[in-house]
Structure 1
Amino acid sequence: MLEALGSLVAALWAALRPGTVLLGAIVFLLLADFLKRRRPKNYPPGPPRLPFIGNFFQLDFDKAHLSLQRFVTKYGNIFSMDFGTFPSVLITGLPLIKEALVHQDQNFANRPLMPIEIRIFNNKGLIMSNGHVWKEQRRFALTTLRNFGLGKKSLEERIQEEAAYLIQEIGEENGQPFNPHFTINNAVSNIICSITFGERFDYQDDQFQEMLRLFDEVMYLRTSVWCQLYNVFPRIMNFLPGPQQTLFSKWEKLKMFVANMIENHKRDWNPAEARDFIDAYLQEIEKHKGNAASCFHEENLIYNTLDLFFAGTETTSTTLRWGLLYMALYPEIQEKVQAEIDRVLGQSQKPSTAARESMPYTNAVIHEVLRMGNIVPLNVPREVAVDTTLAGYHLPKGTMVTTNLTALHRDPAEWATPDTFNPEHFLENGQFKKRESFLPFSIGKRMCLGEQLARTELFIFFTSLLQKFTFRPPENEKLSLKFRMSMTLSPVSHHLCAVPRA
């Protein structure tokens, strides 16, 4: 019987041509893909999808946030796209954003774990973790940051001291063209470093400069086409050379830098006294020793430290770089800021948060830099935790959700001159005016945990620099507002002249 069955199979196989087998396999895979990705009734509309890759090639990854806006025009304030096999929905407009991130925050609390996030983070750290791990790590981080000065006078004094170091460093350029990128990165990162590592790093520290460059390269690589393809074909891309492999190797170097800092802490660690975030976390690890289910362990400490470093460095330093660039491009606005600084602080008084209320124009300029700089144009993505209804549409569990901050911050119904740098957007009768449609730090339970620190840093650094320097374009370089797409939207590489003020 078995011999007869074997002969039948062999005869059928011999009768089939290779082309027929291949065609059959393709039809089977297409059918499987169709059945797997069938959308439920009442799912948001969107552009047609291709098998396996979805809408991957309908986006311009050099300006993804802008290429999405044409779909908003066509399909409305909520529409769907697929990135490979991952369903995604983009929501536009303040009412929908608030409904999702505030009123239904529990349903949108998760982060989507794409293949590349699983490879890099694996549900660790503060930014890309979910569930119990995220809640525990965020609660500990917030408490510890407060203990080490977040929102306190001591931290403000640290920022003032670092601003003085930054002024000295820029002053050594003697008004000649310089690239502000890593100098500003170093200054801003020193604030979070003083909290996490218990020390600041000199602007000539080669090891720390290398870490800053690694971070910059990792963030740029993460948004490259090759790394997006990794999310579509992870098993294939694991075996191919390319930027995705460079990303993984550079990420390991960053982890090693932090791991070495932790080892240095352990050598003279006093369990009874925490000097910084790392010490406090080591105490927490000791408390949970023996508990196999605990999420407090050294690997999570490494990821938390890197997350704090990213959140405490990249967004604020990029905003400051945009701010100085705008001042060089809009000298009349820079003059008004400096006139207010001279009137309120003079040349000798250090900028402080206490002075912010007396400086509405400077405060408005910083807010306009955040609006126009648009450094996180689609917010950090969320994932639907349970089947949910939003704006009458059904969103299944696992759907990735991005919020269209680009459209919100350029909405002509909200902003008088949406595409023009105009501090008057945040002024009313000469006084600073808060705007509900201004969400650079997001909203809801997963909003930026360092918002207060970022606002303090932005005001003190920006005001200190304009108190001492006038920023101008170099004579042989034409400045522009072109951007580089990365994990944040940053200015393309450029030079400025920082002319000391008399």
Structure 2
Amino acid sequence: MDITGSVTLTIVICISCLLFYSALKTRGRRGNLPPGPTPLPFLGNLLQLRRGELVESLIELSKTYGNVFTVYLGMRRVVVLKGYQSVKEALVNQADDFSGRGEVPTFDTAYKNYGVIFTNNMERWRQLRRFSLVTLRDFGMGKRGLEDRIKEETQHLISELRKTKGTMFNPSVHLSLASCNIISSIMFGDRFEYDDKELLSMIHVIHESFELISSVWGQMYEILPGLMKHLPGKHHQIFRDLEILIAIIEKRVEMSRRTLDPSSPRHYIDTFLIKMDKEKQNPDTEFTMPNLLCTAAQIFFAASDAPSITLTYGFLLMLRYPEIQERVQEEIGRVVGQNRTPNIQDKSEMPYTDAVIHEIQRFTDLAPFGAPRAVTRDILFQGYTIPKGTNVFAMLGTVLKDPECFSDPDNFNPKNFLDESGGFKKSDAFMPFSAGKRNCLGEGLARMELFLIFTTILQSFNLKSALPPEEIDITPNVTGMGNFPRFYNMYIESR
């Protein structure tokens, strides 16, 4: 046998041994885990997951293995929770046990475990979340000041929309500009003009990276990151985009540092810099520059993209169901009129509009399984043992479309949030912001933003499509970590 043959045989033997070892290790790990398909070494359950259809594949597996089951994404063990009862029991009833952050390989590669949202360092998460909640509240979140910021930015948005003068346009960019400026006013203390190159760059990289993470390329990276990082493909653009976003944040931090007055913080960045200075002698502090840059980038990412995508999807639904648009406009006219802009206090007198906005969030299912969780200790859950560190996919989309919780789960129907007398009906299964101790940091901001922008636009304009309503496609264009509406054009008529 020549040397080439010997080397080849050695490699084959080594690989076979590794596969055998991996199979034994995987089998030994199952123990009292929830049931699931038998994984292959290294690949896990890749063969049971349809290409680019991770969410649909997991739902399909639940039909065989139940509402709590185990899959392997490559070598990563994941317990999947389907439906309201399972998700509630985990995220609400056992909130501490399920408060860890699971792996998100794309974001983990980019942020390197820094920042408030994607860190699995529990002490880091506690300190940064507590600080962020207090600071965001101090700069307007949940107060009258935040409502004024949103209303002011909405008027800029209305002015931009009027410039379309009846021509066809895609509303996605306009809505992204507004959402980005609202969080910018909190994080940086000011807003951008709508033609500002830096603003447009941030919107582009945030939206592109989120859509790529949800695409086939992103899903493959989530399953096999060790392999995919060495292969060419669109997934590498995710990291370039996030590097651009962090660079822009870093530039803003430096601008704030040069003009900082410790006695008078102007925004989130100032407050974090002051905290950094106070704790510079603490070797265990989490208030460091990497955490500042990554926390700011993560908050900015979530607060700018999620509301704009939801509104973009929402206006597509108004085009598909013009009778619903008309009924919302009738309620706005009756409660608000045309002589003032809507206020957040109006919501209590607008049950139909409130139901429509909730139904938009429920139906669009922006984040089908939210951000992955991890269990913080060995736990017993529904008779199964889940080891510490196990990743958990709480499938929020299956909660939002649980037939035991909503009367018409598969269709867009505001009656899902209306009682028999036409009043607004709350639902504990309404979890677009997740639940428990790692629920969305900016839920209050998002709720206020959605109501004020949605109602102000429908107060000001009739939304029109060149297509007949029945020909408008409201199925997602991309489904993965996020659901994205199909590209569409519309035009507006002033009311």
Paired position in structure 2 for 1:31: 20
What are the within-5 Å matches in structure 2 for residues 138-157 of structure 1?
138-157=129-148
Whether 2:66 is the aligned partner of 1:84: answer no
Paired position in structure 2 for 1:181: 172
C-alpha spacing 1:168/1:115, structure 2 compared with 1 (3 Å): closer
Paired position in structure 2 for 1:491: 485
In 2: Cα distance, 1:420 partner to 1:114 partner: 30
Paired position in structure 1 for 2:423: 431
Max Rg structure: 1
Task: Please point out which of 339, 342, 345 is paired with 1:348.
Answer: 339
SS at match of 2:235: helix
In 1: Cα distance, 2:290 partner to 2:377 partner: 29
Q: Deviations over 1:70-112 (max 9, x none)?
A: 1111111111110010001111222221221122222111112
The amino acid across from 1:480 in the alignment is D
Paired position in structure 1 for 2:284: 293
The amino acid across from 2:299 in the alignment is L
Paired position in structure 1 for 2:450: 458
Paired position in structure 1 for 2:383: 392
Cα contact 2:103–2:391 (8 A) shared by 1: no
Paired position in structure 2 for 1:6: none
In 1: Cα distance, 2:105 partner to 2:348 partner: 46
Q: Deviations over 1:190-246 (max 9, x none)?
A: 111100011111211122111110111111222344444445554554444332332
Whether 2:473 is the aligned partner of 1:480: answer yes
Deviation at 1:114, TM superposition (A): 4.8
SS at match of 1:79: strand
Paired position in structure 2 for 1:99: 89
In 1: Cα distance, 2:114 partner to 2:228 partner: 23
In 1: Cα distance, 2:405 partner to 2:251 partner: 49
In 1: Cα distance, 2:337 partner to 2:117 partner: 40
In 2: Cα distance, 1:53 partner to 1:226 partner: 16
Higher mean displacement: 83-92 or 122-131: 122-131
SS at match of 2:492: strand
Paired position in structure 1 for 2:63: 73
In 2: Cα distance, 1:413 partner to 1:40 partner: 31
Cα contact 2:53–2:480 (8 A) shared by 1: no
SS at match of 1:80: strand
Paired position in structure 1 for 2:39: 49
Deviation at 1:115, TM superposition (A): 4.3
In 2: Cα distance, 1:224 partner to 1:440 partner: 20
Deviation at 1:475, TM superposition (A): 4.7
C-alpha spacing 1:488/1:116, structure 2 compared with 1 (3 Å): closer
Deviation at 1:472, TM superposition (A): 1.6
Deviation at 1:290, TM superposition (A): 2.3
Cα contact 1:40–1:394 (8 A) shared by 2: no
Deviation at 1:180, TM superposition (A): 0.8
Cα contact 1:315–1:488 (8 A) shared by 2: no
Whether 2:189 is the aligned partner of 1:198: answer yes
Deviation at 1:117, TM superposition (A): 3.7
Higher mean displacement: 135-144 or 477-486: 477-486
SS at match of 1:432: coil
The amino acid across from 1:474 in the alignment is A
In 2: Cα distance, 1:209 partner to 1:486 partner: 25
SS at match of 2:101: coil
Deviation at 1:316, TM superposition (A): 1.1
What are the within-5 Å matches in structure 2 for residues 183-262 of structure 1?
183-231=174-222, 234-262=225-253
Q: Deviations over 1:391-448 (max 9, x none)?
A: 1111112211111222222222222221111111111111111011211111111111
Query: How many residues matched?
Result: 490
Whether 2:103 is the aligned partner of 1:113: answer yes
Paired position in structure 2 for 1:370: 361
Cα contact 1:65–1:377 (8 A) shared by 2: yes
Task: Please point out which of 398, 401, 410 is paired with 1:410.
Answer: 401
C-alpha spacing 1:336/1:229, structure 2 compared with 1 (3 Å): closer
Gaps of 5+ in 1: 1-11
Deviation at 1:387, TM superposition (A): 1.2
In the superposition, the TM-score normalised over structure 2's length comes to 0.94
In 1: Cα distance, 2:145 partner to 2:219 partner: 42
Q: Deviations over 1:222-271 (max 9, x none)?
A: 23444444455545544443323322222211111110111111221111
Q: Deviations over 1:123-146 (max 9, x none)?
A: 211111131100000000000011
The amino acid across from 2:449 in the alignment is E
Paired position in structure 2 for 1:308: 299
Deviation at 1:50, TM superposition (A): 1.9
SS at match of 1:289: coil
Query: Percent of aligned positions with the same letter in both sequences?
Result: 39
Higher mean displacement: 116-125 or 167-176: 116-125
Cα contact 1:148–1:276 (8 A) shared by 2: yes
In 1: Cα distance, 2:110 partner to 2:125 partner: 16
RMSD of equivalent CA atoms: 2.1
In 2: Cα distance, 1:236 partner to 1:349 partner: 57
Task: Please point out which of 114, 125, 130 is paired with 1:134.
Answer: 125
Cα contact 1:482–1:491 (8 A) shared by 2: yes
Cα contact 2:90–2:98 (8 A) shared by 1: yes
SS at match of 1:415: coil
Higher mean displacement: 478-487 or 259-268: 478-487
Task: Please point out which of 390, 401, 410 is paired with 2:392.
Answer: 401
Deviation at 1:496, TM superposition (A): 1.3
Cα contact 1:221–1:486 (8 A) shared by 2: no
Higher mean displacement: 360-369 or 246-255: 246-255
Cα contact 2:399–2:429 (8 A) shared by 1: yes
Whether 2:156 is the aligned partner of 1:162: answer no
C-alpha spacing 1:416/1:232, structure 2 compared with 1 (3 Å): closer
Q: Deviations over 1:45-84 (max 9, x none)?
A: 1123222111124323533222221111111111111001
The amino acid across from 2:441 in the alignment is L
Deviation at 1:31, TM superposition (A): 1.4
In 2: Cα distance, 1:500 partner to 1:327 partner: 16
The amino acid across from 1:464 in the alignment is T
